[in-house]
Amino acid sequence: MPTLRQFHPTRVGKPCQPDLYYGVTDKLQLGFVHDGPMGWQARPGLGLCFTGKSNGCPKVYDNLGFDLMYGVASGPLHLSLHSSLFVSSFDPTTTSLAVGFAGKVHFSDRAALVFDPKFAIALSDRSVNDDALYVPVELEFQAGAPTTFKVLSGISGGWSAFGDTYQVPLGVGLVHNLTEHIDVGARFSFDNLLGKEPAGVGRADARSLAVLLNLRS
């Protein structure tokens, strides 16, 4: 199932983040991804970027990831073990291994909570690259049979200085099922509205708009 995400951020370039997933069995799913540990909420700058250095794209292609999910529970609570190998830069090589779990809790036929916490262990140049915690969450509301409204948030930050680096986005998203094989959607987020505010940067300064296309075979 290929997933294409096109970002239209306010202050950087316009990367496209193509993700490809393959269901090996009913429980095992493998993926080749470009969106980073926060998934759909990844801040712009990852993926394919063609607008040049002056528009926030220093390189056309500079990251990739390999994803593995294995289902361990189903029913009102869906739960999968989730591990990813991220290469967030090719030169110099910046690599991390993220381990955690992904799940979805159904509160009713129309409401659910999606979560995907993971701990990323830095594998390259640990004197510079820190381990990190990523916890994206989505509160979903079924607006109609084909349409889902989402409230997006979570928390992320470097592990050794979490109190000084944590970021908390807040956004909204909408996903609409066009056919059995095609979903389209969009999201708007303040990328660090509730997190630690860097000096000289306003809470609402970092924001991004993304469109989503999901294709299923």
In this predicted structure, the answer to whether residue 150 has a pLDDT above a threshold of 60 is yes
- The per-residue pLDDT for range 3-61, each reduced to its tens digit, is 555 444 444 456 788 899 999 999 999 999 998 999 989 887 788 887 777 666 778 88
Closest among 191, 209, 211 to 201, alpha carbons compared: 191
**What's the pLDDT at 12?**
45
Q: What is the pTM assigned to this prediction?
A: 0.90
- The per-residue pLDDT for range 154-180, each reduced to its tens digit, is 999 999 999 999 999 999 999 999 999
* Contact partners, residue 205, CB within 8 Å, separation at least 6: 11
Task: Indicate the pairing of strand 28-33 with strand 16-23.
Answer: antiparallel
In this predicted structure, the answer to whether residue 2 has a pLDDT above a threshold of 70 is no
Number of domains in the chain: 1
- Mean pLDDT along residues 104-119: 96
Q: Which SS3 state, helix, strand or coil, does residue 209 take?
A: strand
Whole-number Å distance between alpha carbons of 31 and 33: 6
Closest among 65, 69, 55 to 7, alpha carbons compared: 55
**What's the pLDDT at 15?**
76
Weakest mean pLDDT among 14-18, 85-89, 180-184, 193-197: 14-18
- Distances 114 to 16, 117, 216 between C-alpha atoms, Å: 24, 10, 20
Contact assessment for residue 139 and residue 113, using Cβ atoms and an 8 Å cutoff: yes
Neighbours of 94 (CB within 10 A): 18
Instruction: Check which CATH number belongs to the domain holding 194 and give it.
Output: 2.40.160.40
**What percent of the chain shows pLDDT beyond 70?**
92
Cis peptide before 92 (omega within 30 of 0): yes
Whole-number Å distance between alpha carbons of 117 and 95: 18
- The per-residue pLDDT for range 60-79, each reduced to its tens digit, is 888 999 999 999 999 899 99
Question: Which range marks the domain in which residue 41 is found?
Answer: 2-215
Whole-number Å distance between alpha carbons of 211 and 59: 22
